[in-house]
Structures are given as C-alpha cells and as structure tokens.
Amino acid sequence: MSPKRPKVIVTRRLPDAVELRLKELFDAELNATDQQMSEDELAAAFERADILVSTVTDQINGRVIARAGEQLQMIAQFGAGTDNIDVQTATQRGITVTNTPGVLTDDTADVTMALILSVPRRLNEGSRLIADGKFDGWAPTWMMGRRLGGKRLGIIGMGRIGQAVARRARAFGLQIHYHNRKPVARHIEEGLEATYWDSLDQMVAHMDIISINCPHTPATFHLMNARRLGLMKPDAFIVNTARGEVIDEAALARILSENKIAGAGLDVFEREPAVNSDLIGLENVVLLPHMGSATLEGRIEMGEKVIINIKTFTDGHRPPDRVIPSIL
C-alpha cells in the first residue's frame, strides 16, 4: 500500500463510533445520506477507492469490478454474507474480499426464536386486534394458538446460527432435527440432542416448524420451492431469517393464502426491499423488515471487524476474515 493513508469509501452509514474510528485511521469518505448507491455510483467509487467498505445492499457484480482502478485492493464487507459480491471476479483481479462472520449469530438466533414463538402463538394477530379495538374480553376459545413444547423443529443449515437457534429452541421443549450438507460433529449433535436428516424432503414432511438458517448460494436458490413447500404438514409453520431467495416467495404466498400450511414468519424477502404484496395482510404471517441482526452492539462489533480486516491488510498481513471463492 501507499505510505499515505488509504482512501476508504464507505457505501452506507455505520454506527457513529465506527465512522469516527474509520476517519481516525484512514482517509475515509462516508455516505452521510445513507442512500443505497446505484451501480454507476458504486463503479465510480471503485475507480477512486483504495478500499471499499460495502454492505449486503450493494450489488458488486462483474461490471462494477471491471471499472475498478489499479489502486483498488480490497472490498471489506460489513456483513457475514457475501452473495452480493462477485468474489471470484474480484479475486481474479487481485482484489481481497473480507467479511464479518460470527458477530451476529446470537442476534439473528434471537429473532429466529421470536418468530418461532410469535407465529404459532398468533402474537402479531393479537397485537393487531388490540390496536384495532377488537378485544372484547377473554373467552375459552379466543385466539387459540399452538403449544411449542414437544413439537418438531427442522433446521435447514446447522451452522453457527442454526446451532444457536437449536440451543434456544431446546429450552422451549422443542425436539431438534436438522438437514445440512453433512452431519455436524458428533459432540455438537449429542449436545443439542439433534437428529440429522440426509433427505430434506423427508425432514420437511415430518416437521411442525421449519427454520431456514442456510446461506443463499446457487444450490440453495428456491430450496424451498412449490413442490417442497407442498410436502409440509397442513398445521406446520416456516420461519426464514437467512436469505429471502431460499424460498420461492410466490409459491409460499399462494400456499399460505390457501391455508395449506399454518403460517410463516419472515425477516428476509426474495426481492428486498420489495415484499410480495400477496403476503401483506395475511393473518397467518409475521413480516419483519430484515432486522434479525439489528442490535447496536452487533453493528459496532461488525464495524470493529471491518477495521481489523482493513488495518491488518494495510499493514501487509493476511486479514483474518478473508473470503475465498468456493471454486478455488
């Protein structure tokens, strides 16, 4: 790197403490408006920056990377997922990509568990009834939901977040089942009292609640498609706090509207920030605005990881959270 302070362009607003530290350490250009950059704006930033601090809303495709100046050496993602970045093309151009894994595990698992609680117990419906002035008093058959204890929870993706969800769910008496590319280590499986299913179809068909906690990759796009959603039991629920693209959202909306499954809790959507209009207004759905990881503590810790990755890189060392394309 040049002996002068590297030019670091940040695409979105970050917590004040993180922005202050970035300005102290680097020649940091911040996004005061917090408006998402267009493809042309991202490309212009690539032409000027030594390092770009990106977020999951930035679509860094091959066209954007092709316009990178010779000085651009690093994309430091503020987030664990990197499916918005063409990591292969960046790596081929000699651009290092980093992310911030492991920071938001508990925050995301907390919201996943909140949805697992709120959908079967109809908490969102109850809250709306109060707001609409429709609560006339308790009655024996009023607002009956479903008990969690003893139900089967099927976790799709038993990584850090999936395991954190399992730990929480066990405290509520849920039986833990999971599907993964391969079984987790035996001591983890035994500690969670979790049952591995090699067949996703078979697991989906036998679960009371499905929780999606896998990343979005070409292999997981529409993993829960119309056929697989159709395998779910009529009284089953599905929760997604991972990536919206993992579910065929149109198929889900149709199945929910036809009451072929009992309900859904979604924190992510296939075409964010757009939400399928057929989902909005359904009584058996809880919709959240991608807030699973939104805690102040988590965001600051993410920023600290970004700074460590940049500082380590500019000091001439391999950054701790370098992302390697899976095909390499």
Please report the DSSP string for 81-132 in residue order.
--TTB-HHHHHHTT-EEE--TTSSHHHHHHHHHHHHHHTTTTHHHHHHHHHT
Catalytic position from the list 243, 249, 299, 301: 243
Rounded to an integer, what distance in angstroms lies between the CA atom of residue 53 and that of residue 67?
16
CA 196-270-289 angle, 5° bins: 95
Q: Taking each helix axis from N to C terminus, what angle separates 16-25 and 296-314, rounded to the nearest 10 degrees?
A: 10
Is 272 one of the annotated active-site residues of the chain?
yes
Instruction: Choose, from 160, 179, 290, 299, the residue flagged as catalytic.
Output: 290
Measure the N-to-C terminal CA separation of the chain; round to a whole number of Å: 25
Q: For residues 213 and 183, what is the distance between their CA atoms, to the nearest angstrom?
A: 15
DSSP classification of residue 233: -
* Segments of the chain assigned E as strands: 7-10, 27-29, 51-55, 74-78, 96-98, 152-156, 175-179, 194-196, 209-212, 237-240, 263-266, 285-287
- The burial class, CB within 10 Å (0-12 / 13-18 / 19+), for 276 is middle
Catalytic one of 222, 272, 304, 322 = 272
- How distant, in Å, are the alpha carbons of 72, 99, 298 from that of 79? 20, 6, 10
Active site residue 170: no
101 Rama sector, left if φ>0, alpha if ψ -120 to 50, beta otherwise:
beta
Task: Spell out the residues 6+ positions from residue 127 whose beta carbon is closer than 8 angstroms to its own.
Answer: none
The number of residues in the chain equals: 328
By annotation, the residues acting in catalysis are 243, 272, 290
